[in-house]
Structure 1
Amino acid sequence: MNADAEEAGRRLGLDERAQAWLDEAAAVEAPGGGPEVAPPSRAREALAPLGPARADEDAIAALWPDGSWPEELMWVVGRMYARLAGDLAEDRPQWRDWPVLVHSADARVRCAMPVALTAAVPLVLAEHARWGVPASVSAATLADVGRHLAQTRAMFGRVGLETAAWAALHFRCGLYELGRLQYEPNRVRTDAAVRWYAPQETLEPELARGAPVLRLHIPADGPLAPERVDASLARARGFFADCFGADYPIASCSSWLLDPQLAAYLPEASNILAFQRRFTLVEEDAPGDEDVFRFVFGMPAVDVDRAPRRSRLERAAVEHLRAGRHWRVRTGWLRL
């Protein structure tokens, strides 16, 4: 155990998971000697690329490091920055778990990750520029952090970033937002393709193990209007070919939105069902009740008694569970 990490974790009251992450991050070298955290007078300017809602901007700016933050908390910010910079420098960085600090009683601890992200913005923008990523794509991609700050506030009633691991994906150039959808360059990593609902001849070579695939994600950005989805999908393959010289003929998506059970509750003309019809589903699935409550209701856990029923989708989500059934996360693919 690194002594600095152990002391910081103890003084800040971090849980075992956060402590283990911090101990590992203690060994990472930060470029240029560490983060350059903006002074309080420039806090809002520093936060702007993250796209925070006004409530989150106000809260974080009011808590901004001003010399009163404990030394060990600033050390944690430095470790977060070092990890972000180290992952960005890797050729093929892997998904990495990050500590969830949203339950900390100290609001400054909950703001450590947003502060570290602001310090890392110049690194990400420089990397984007090196690859020729348009400034509009950079801006849209980084501003997704603001959605997750707002989601954290809605779910927990406090400032923070529960989804730090998700935000870190953007900051290691592992995801790009192109209009309505987001794309994560990846590869088919399992042999599950042999169980996909498609003729065997369509599975090679596009869907073979190791084949390039764009994992498609759906930000909380209003309705899934077909024309916006069309426009995004039409950009994806060309964007990655132009900027990175890589061809991604296939996109995949894993989401509760692909659960065919939704067809029993939604009208045929719904945007969600139109989105589903774009994909060929695979056989495997995963539990989806918690995802539905997180993304439909903004609730961190399943609670049918507290869930509102204002819309057709909200009513469907609750009625389905009350009938003894469960939602599933389904995976599908489409050609770009």
Structure 2
Amino acid sequence: MPSPLPSPWWRADTHRDRRPFLTARNAIKRDLRGWFEAEGFTEVEAAALQVSPGNEAHLHAFATEAISTAGARTPLYLHTSPEFAAKKLLAAGETKIFDFARVWRNRERGPLHHPEFTMLEWYRAGEPYEALMADGAALLALAAQTAETRALTWRGKTADPFAEPERLTLAEAFDANGIDLLATVQADGDTNRDALARAASAAGVRVAADDTWTDVFSRVLVEKIEPKLGLGRPTILCEYPICEAALARPTASDPRVAERFELYACGVELANAFGELTDPAEQRRRFVMEMDEKARVYGERYPLDEDFLAALAHMPPACGIALGFDRLVMLATGASRIEQVLWTPVAATD
């Protein structure tokens, strides 16, 4: 017999169990908003409907359409991030902005994933992306303080949110597993798939014959590296290969790597940050490559936002970061799955 369905979230007894997580969510959101306002940020609200939901190969959007009064139909998408709209605001003259954005991602559901969730995204014009590292550390500490906890927790793992984060490059993380990552990356972004595949296999990672360089890179990251990040204290994993940072600029010290970092705690990815790419031609080239890969793997592609590419030419140097707000609440409150910290979870379809 099939297992019984879980109680609906709207059942009084179920809601009663969830309510402490939800009220903590409200308190954390209030205090984080206060932090941004005290730091001189302006809160913005990006429109959810966009002509392009984003152009990353492995992100999947919800599609809809606009119907004009004359009956003309135009494809639209629910955004997977407020990034394109936020960067247009930077081009318009805003300098420090943040958004508690509702975003949608299809094909995503699990203890840490939900088809609709809240992304806290913020940008600093004219500042180095290292400024975002300090921001992220401050927000982890503030969330824990608001939740009245001394530790972030997830599935038996803990991290001290008040400790200075460890900083680790991708090259260092791969080297710890016996893999010389940057030996497989060229300055122009080209990669040596076979060299990475041989090194990954020697490190005990399964490699399939049709795996691309990115497939092998991702498998090493997920299997060998991510579970060890953010244990005891948060980890900043930085300097991603340029081919794994479609919206980030190269570092000044090494063109093979980009100004990209991710923030981890308890083995959970919490945030993804960039020193923003502002070259429209290079951004277009990268988007086309991403959509070519999406078409190869999934048989579909999303349109480019030409308005966004035009705005890039007017955007100042900036850095930006997206933090999974629901995940932060989970770790600060000790919740075991994302539905516990969402006021009205989306019903499961399978």
Query: Which TM-score tier does this pair reach, normalised by the shorter chain?
Result: under 0.3
Higher relative contact order (CA 8 A, sep 6+): 2
Structure having the higher helix fraction is 1
TM-score (norm 1): 0.25
